[in-house]
Structure 1
């Protein structure tokens, strides 16, 4: 796979599954006399506690010397390819939170309940469509919840409200964990070089009912309002870490630049892949998918005709740019004008929508509804009482 990926996807960063590597520790090193008496812990510490490549190199060397593992071929092969699996060598690459082959495991969970070992090929095709349809329903429900449900903030920090407004509910919950971790972070200024400020952040990390204190360095650019932490959480997962947030809190920064809000997790953006026609479009029944396919076909035909003529290509692109600039504004203006001209009538998706005063309510009309017998007698009695009162007030008229 490594050789194939390097050939077919030369610009792609490939990494090994860290979970599978750590799973092999008992198999490869379990026979060592000190495996459960320091070796396993020191190896994990070298992997997860090294904040720089230099620290890892030193820790790895000390590990081999301490446990006399210089002749271990498995560890030697792993060290030679350390840039493919050691976390410190991968912190500068965006992985969207992936460190294992969770893609394959998620696909297994995706087909749970739909296919099994005895499923035939024809049944698999049908069940595949059913699984996709169910996935679309789940995504549609999640999109609806993101638009109509608001998760309350856990802090008075204005930056958290930024994420609350822009991010999906699932991703906002991950961001909130960093805001809740602010109470475990202590921060102080270490040095200043021009507009670059360096802070030390002491974080208390809890795991397995134990607490460990870890130092991180955060660099803050005052001119660009840019913050970077040695933990590499934002670079790897696209989520700003609690250490950077602590510095922002110390510097009274209430608004983060847009670079810290990734489009892939925003709930206010249209996902283009939803416009691609699929086998489950009959369930969705949307016209935007058909329109998108029609536009692609027409543009493809036009591209085949004019691609050989540079002037025509530039003229077409210029027209598209002008249309892109004016179409949204003209649509909004026309909608506004029609609404102002007739405030009781709106046009939405080709259907006439009347104001509440014009719309007929559900059920039997009020003038034709069935009146219970008790209500008839009560109404008749009230009418007789009003007539008797009128007779008493005006006796001469009678």
Structure 2
């Protein structure tokens, strides 16, 4: 696969699945978690929080020094492939939060365990769910209405974590510094002052952590600024349709998704019967 992808998909960046990397070494990692009480939290923080490669590499070295793991075979193996699965090395590449294949495999698991029937229409299920906003800000209400349940749940978490950050104005009216309230905790990037652009008039938002460029969802720092300036709404250009309740205006799976009534008077959505009728018409003409 590693050889075929650059040849067949020349504009595609091939990265390794983080979930599979962690699964591959889960037994030895579990051993390290039990051996060192704080190792799991610190190791997870290194994977989730680094700003750019320099911060990640410094944090990794500090962790190896602290727990004397420079010669540990598992940590050495993970480090040898770090540029292919650590997000710090491809933050400028849009991946829509798919840094692993776990999300698609989770959906397969739900279907296989019969929690949801494969014949049910998930787009209708999602669109009927109502979201409860965490605040009364205009942008919060807007996102609750537009985003899917899973995406908005992440937004709610960021709105809550916003209280851990402090905003400082700069000489430029639309540029701010956002820093963590407890800079002494854990690693160096907690001491970092993130430069954020928040211009509600010009409808421009951005942060040097580049989370939106990488995933298409605002980072905690931008969310912090939107609360600070009490933004009325999120500009349309920053809301990707893929994360909304209606990712496709006219989805292909909806064209024959007709509402019918079963013999027991219960309503049902029948795709197979409509497709069968269409198939028979094509067959007769042929």
**TM value normalised by structure 2:** 0.68
Pairwise mapping of residues 274-353 of structure 1 onto structure 2 (< 5 A)? Answer: 274-275=253-254, 281-283=271-273, 285=274
Instruction: Report the CA distance between 1:233 and its aligned residue.
Output: 4.1
Q: Report how many aligned residue pairs link the two structures.
A: 256
Match of 1:256 in 2: 234
Q: Which structure's relative contact order is higher, taking Cα pairs within 8 Å and 6+ residues apart?
A: 2
RMSD value, Cα: 4.0
CA deviation profile, 1:335-387 (whole Å, cap 9, x unmatched): xxxxxxxxxxxxxxxxxxxxxxxxxxxxxxxxxxxxxxxxxxxxxxxxxxxxx
Q: Is the 8 A contact 2:46 2:59 kept in 1?
A: yes
Q: Is the 8 A contact 1:218 1:227 kept in 2?
A: no
Pairwise mapping of residues 349-368 of structure 1 onto structure 2 (< 5 A)? Answer: none
Instruction: Report the CA distance between 1:56 and its aligned residue.
Output: 1.5
Pairwise mapping of residues 200-211 of structure 1 onto structure 2 (< 5 A)? Answer: 200-202=178-180
Q: Distance in 1 between matches of 2:222 and 2:70?
A: 39
Instruction: Report the CA distance between 1:61 and its aligned residue.
Output: 3.2
Instruction: Report the CA distance between 1:239 and its aligned residue.
Output: 2.6
Query: Is 1:154 aligned to residue 140 of structure 2?
Result: no
Larger Rg over CA atoms: 1
Q: Distance in 1 between matches of 2:29 and 2:151?
A: 38
Match of 2:154 in 1: 174
**TM value normalised by structure 1:** 0.52
Q: Distance in 2 between matches of 1:181 and 1:43?
A: 20
Instruction: Report the CA distance between 1:167 and its aligned residue.
Output: 2.9
Distance change in 2, residues 1:25/1:42 (3 Å): farther
Q: Is the 8 A contact 2:198 2:204 kept in 1?
A: yes
Name the one with the larger helix percent.
1
CA deviation profile, 1:258-307 (whole Å, cap 9, x unmatched): 122111233465143325679x6335x49xx97xxx9xxxxxxxxxxxxx
Q: Structure 1: give runs of 5+ residues left out of the alignment.
A: 115-129, 205-212, 295-398
Instruction: Report the CA distance between 1:156 and its aligned residue.
Output: 1.8
Q: Distance in 1 between matches of 2:125 and 2:204?
A: 36
Distance change in 2, residues 1:47/1:242 (3 Å): closer
